[in-house]
């Protein structure tokens, strides 16, 4: 059976290190994985799916609050069996709570508070309760009685793979795939918590070969025309695919101009891949490089502000056939960048609000405005 989502490739981790320097409030890991012998192929713009592992100490804490040893055999979500402990580490989601899960738990728990939350049938009340809580919180604060270990895993969801934008060109790094991952850590309800996959890479991946597969992203592809200009907007880990794009353009000997907008809190500690990008700038491959370090001055400056400042040049690049790529946070950054783009078309293209909307729609239709947002 070829390797893929249903049969992930156990990928050796070749290198993994923090890109932020000492004193940064962020941890952003550069991770290099081997694809040797997997038969997996990717192009720049694609994503890598990674199956993480839950923290063993959290699984052991869950088991200590249940009447099971952890050695009992249980069914796995995708078929087969494993010990309960192994299944909780590798196959079941012990992090995210949903109203449906809450209802199933409440039916087996005598908690009046939990019953009032579920019986409210108010989605907001249930979502507010779920936010920042995990299975461990229910085990310790709202104990429930399960008929057996199978009954327990029956209320759990399958542990889903995480998708990460690939930050390498396969031609620049044969047999490898690189990722740029921000490590998520936070505190809620009296506990330190973290993203299941990001903390897997930073805290517990030593000697482990995570299962991976390639997720082809047809909606986010580097232009074939090597003479065409491209504009890339990627703050934070949104920089990932653009590292790959630039490596690929360099190898292709592409003559088209490349313009990159990058932002993060502080230049001193959060300038990801600084050496590589400044070197590409000196070589002339990176024609324009605009930086927005939001906290380096009293007034916060983000990538959309830099775009606004360079609106006239962006408009002239678009008129010259440039493709605009945006990668990163969907809720705020991508929305703000989109609003800025519409403003640039109105101001520098002399279009009305409606005409600007039509122009941006046409850009999307021509695949000259592509977004990889999450």
What are the residue boundaries of the structural domains of the chain, listed by start?
Answer: 9-52+161-215, 56-158, 230-373
Q: Model-level pTM?
A: 0.95
Tell me, what DSSP letter sits at residue 95? Answer: S
Chain segment 125-179, per-residue pLDDT in tens: 999 999 999 999 999 999 999 999 999 999 999 999 999 999 999 999 999 999 9
Q: Quick count: other Cβ atoms within 10 Å of Cβ 160?
A: 14
Please provide the CATH number assigned to the domain covering 230-373. 3.40.50.80
> What is the spatial distance between Cα 11 and Cα 210, in angstroms, rounded to a whole number?
6
Report how far residue 78's alpha carbon sits from residue 90's, in angstroms, rounded to the nearest whole number: 12
Class of 9-52+161-215 per CATH? mainly beta
Fold for the domain defined by 56-158: NADPH-cytochrome p450 Reductase; Chain A, domain 3 (1.20.990)
- What stretches of 62-210 adopt beta strand conformation (E)? 73-75, 81-83, 92-93, 157-158, 162-165, 176-182, 185-188, 191-194
- Taking 90 as the threshold, does the pLDDT of residue 37 lie above it? yes
**Checking phi first, is residue 70 left (phi over 0); if not, alpha (psi -120 to 50) or beta?**
left
**99 confidence band (pLDDT: 50, 70, 90):** confident
Contact 223, 323 (CB under 8 A): yes
181-232: pLDDT as tens digits: 999 999 999 999 999 999 999 999 999 999 999 999 999 999 999 999 999 9
């Amino acid at each position: 059976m070829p390797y893929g989502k249903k049969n992930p490739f156990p990928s050796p981790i070749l290198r993994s290190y923090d890109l932020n320097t000492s004193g940064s409030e962020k941890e952003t890991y550069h991770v290099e994985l081997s694809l040797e012998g997997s038969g997996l192929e990717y192009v720049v713009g694609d994503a890598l799916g990674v199956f993480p592992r839950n923290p063993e100490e959290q699984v052991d804490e869950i088991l200590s609050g249940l009447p099971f040893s952890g050695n009992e055999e249980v069914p796995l979500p995708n078929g087969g069996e494993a010990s309960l402990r192994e299944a909780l580490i590798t196959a079941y989601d012990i992090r995210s709570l949903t109203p449906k899960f809450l209802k199933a738990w409440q039916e087996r728990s005598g908690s009046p508070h939990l019953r009032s939350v579920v019986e409210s049938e108010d989605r907001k009340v249930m979502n507010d309760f779920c936010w920042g809580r995990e299975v461990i919180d229910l085990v310790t604060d709202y104990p429930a009685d399960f008929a057996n270990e199978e009954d327990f895993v029956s209320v759990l969801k399958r542990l889903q793979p995480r998708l990460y934008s690939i930050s390498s060109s396969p031609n620049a790094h044969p047999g490898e795939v690189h990722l740029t991952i921000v490590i998520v850590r936070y505190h809620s309800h009296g506990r330190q918590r973290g993203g299941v996959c990001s903390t897997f890479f930073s805290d517990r991946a030593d000697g482990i070969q995570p299962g991976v597969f390639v997720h082809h992203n047809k909606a986010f592809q580097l232009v074939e025309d090597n003479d065409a200009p491209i504009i890339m907007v990627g703050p934070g880990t949104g920089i990932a695919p653009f590292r790959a794009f630039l490596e690929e353009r360099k190898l292709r000997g592409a003559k088209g101009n490349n313009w990159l907008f990058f932002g993060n809190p502080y230049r001193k500690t959060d300038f990801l891949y600084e050496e590589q990008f400044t070197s590409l700038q000196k070589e002339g491959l990176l024609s324009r490089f605009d930086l927005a370090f939001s906290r380096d001055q009293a007034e916060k400056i983000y990538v959309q502000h830099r775009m606004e400042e360079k609106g006239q040049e962006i408009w002239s690049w678009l008129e010259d056939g440039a493709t605009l790529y945006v990668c990163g946070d969907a809720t705020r950054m991508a929305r703000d960048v989109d609003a800025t783009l519409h403003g640039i078309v109105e101001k520098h293209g002399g279009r009305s609000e409606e005409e600007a909307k039509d122009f941006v729609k046409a850009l999307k239709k021509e695949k000259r405005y592509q977004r990889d947002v999450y």
